Chains A and B, each alone.
Chain A
Amino acid sequence: MKYKFLISALLLAGLWSCQPEINEFEPSKGNADFTTYMTAGNSLTAGYADNALYKSAQENSFSKMLAEQMEYVGRTGSFNIPYINTEDGVGASNGVLFTKLKMGFTQDCLGTTSLGPVRANPNATQQELAVLLGTSVADQGPFHNIGVPGAKVTHLLAPGYATLNPFYGRFASAAGNAVIDEIANVKPTFFTLWIGNNDVLTYAIAGGSADQITPLDGAPGVGFGASLEAILMTFKATATGGAIANIPNITDIPYFTTVPHNPIALTEQGQVDQLNAAYAQYNGAMEQFGLEYRINFALGANAMVMHDPSIGVPTGYEALQIRQIKANELVLLSIPQDSIKCAFWGTQKPVPGTFVLDEKEIMDIDEAVAGYNLAIKAAADNYDLAHVDMNAVMKKGSSGGFVMDGVVFTNAFVTGNAFSTDGVHLTPQGNAVAANTFIDAINKKYNASIPKVNVAQYNAVVLP
C-alpha cells in the first residue's frame, strides 16, 4: 500500500516536471477592430532606410511589425507591401538615383582608412536604377502599406502625384490618383498615419536653401492642418479606429547633430597666426561697416567659416558675406569631409550655406514641428484616435538615451542603434522602438493588448 503511494507520488512528480507555463499576457483587441490594417505616411512608413528603398528594409518597417503583431488581435488576410525587387536599393535626391548606403571602409584624402557609410553599388547606372524604381508593382495591389518616400502631408492629397514621385508611381493603382485614393481599394478597419516629417525635413536637408516649410494654415493640399484632416476623413470612411504619430524634433536627428561646428583643430601657433593674418582685412572691413562679425582662430578646436548671404555688406563686398559657424548652429552630415580635411573648407574657403542650418533656420524648423505636433494632437482628439508621441521618444534618445531589452538607444550616428547609415531613417531596431510606441498608444486608447516586439531580436546598423 505504502509503495503504491510512493510510486504514484513519483509519477505525479514526473508530470509536474513539464515546462512551467506562463500565461501572463493575453492578446486582446479591446475596443478596436484590427481586421484590415492599413498604414500611410512617408519614407519611415514605407521602410526606407540607409538612404534608399530596399526589400529587407521594407520587411523591417515598423508598419510590417505592427501588421504582424495585430495578427494576434484579429488582423486577417495578407498585408501587402509594394516591395522593390532589390537589396542594393534605390534612393533619390534632387533627381539623382543611387543605391543604399552600407558600412564599409573608405580612404580619405589624407590616406587614412576608416569605417563609414559607402554606396552598396557605386557603379550602378542611373538607367538601371531608374528601371528598378520605375517598374510598376501596381498589379500586386491593393497595398496595405502606402507609405511614399519623400511625401509631404500635402502630397498625399495631390492627384497625379504618381507622375511627380516615382516612389508612388511604382505602385499607384492609377496614374491620376492621389495617394489617399488607394485607401478605398483596401477599406481598412484600422489605420496608422505618420506624416509631416518631410514638410519640414526637405527644407532642413537642403540646409534651408531650397524647398519650403509647409505652412500650418491653408486649404487641404496647401496647409498642414487641413491636409491632415482630409487624410483622416478618407480613412474614417471605413476605419473605426486608428493611430496618428507626431513628428520627432528634426534637428535632433544624427543628420544634423553628428558633424561638429568646430572641427578645425589647430595645434601650432604658426597656423593660428597665419589664419588670423589672412582674416585681419575681413575683421577690419566688418568694423568699418559697423557689423559685429569677426573671424578669429586660436589653438584647439575652431568653428568653421561659412558663407552667409544674409550678412548685410555694401554692394560689391559680397565676398565678405562669411562668418564662423555658431555653436548652436548645425552642420549637415552631407558635408564632404575631404573638403574640410584637404580643400581648406572652413579655414581658407567658406563652407557653403547649404551644409549649415543657421539659428534662424533652426528656429523656423523647430517652430514648424511644434505647430505640426499641436495640429496632430488636435486631430487625434477630434477624430478620436490614438496619439503616438514619437517626439517624446526622440527627446529621450537625444537627452542621454534609453535602454530596451539591453539595447542602448541614443541619437548618435551609427553607434546610437536607432538611426540607419543615412542619419535620418531608422534601423530595424529603431523601427521596433517605433512599433512598440505605436502599440503602447493603441493599447492605451483602445484598451487593447497587442503584444509588443522584442527590440533585441532586430538588427542595428550592420557592420562589415
Chain B
Amino acid sequence: MPPWRRRFDPPAVPDQFTTDALTFLEALYQSAVRLARNRDAAQDLVQDTYLKAFRARRRFTPGTNLKAWLFTILHNTWRNQRRDRARARVEADSETVEQLVDLGAGADRPTDNPEAGLLEAVLSDDLRTALDDLPQPYRETVWLRDVEELSYQEIAAILDVPIGTVMSRLSRARRQLYRALTEAGRNQGGQGAS
C-alpha cells in the first residue's frame, strides 16, 4: 500500500470554534432544562442550538462574547419550537401574565425572620419548583441575569425585548421567587431533616 494512503482517514480533531463553544455546554444544558422543564427536550434543544451555531459560525466575530451569542441562538431556537407547538393553543401574552402575577401576589406577609430578606439554604427541589412555576418570560429573564450573569443589554438582545422590560421582569421574578421559597421553607419547617 503506498505510504500516502494511510493519511486519508478523517481525523476526529475538533476545530477551535467547536472546542470553544462546547465549554458552554453545561450552562446551555442547565438553562435549557429550565426553559423546557424537561430533560429530554432540553437535550434536543441543546443539540439543535449547537448545530445552528456551528452552521452560522462564520457570523460570529471572534473575541466577542461567545456565551451571549450561543444563548441568543438557544433562546431563538426555543421560541421557534414553542411557536410551532403552540399554534393551536392560545398563549397568555406578556401583559396579561404580568397582571396575573401582580394580582396573585396577595398581601405581603410579615416576615418571621427579623433579618429581612434572608433565605436559608433551599432544597434543590424547592428551587426547581419555584423556578418552574414562574411564567416563562420571568423565568428566562431572571435565569439569564442571576444564574448566567449576562448583562442587561445582552439579555435584551437574547430575549428580543427592551431593556426596561428586562428590568421590570427581574424585579417581579425575584419577588415571586421569594414568596414561593419562603412559603416552601415554611412548609418544610419543623419536619425533621431539611
Check if A and B associate. no
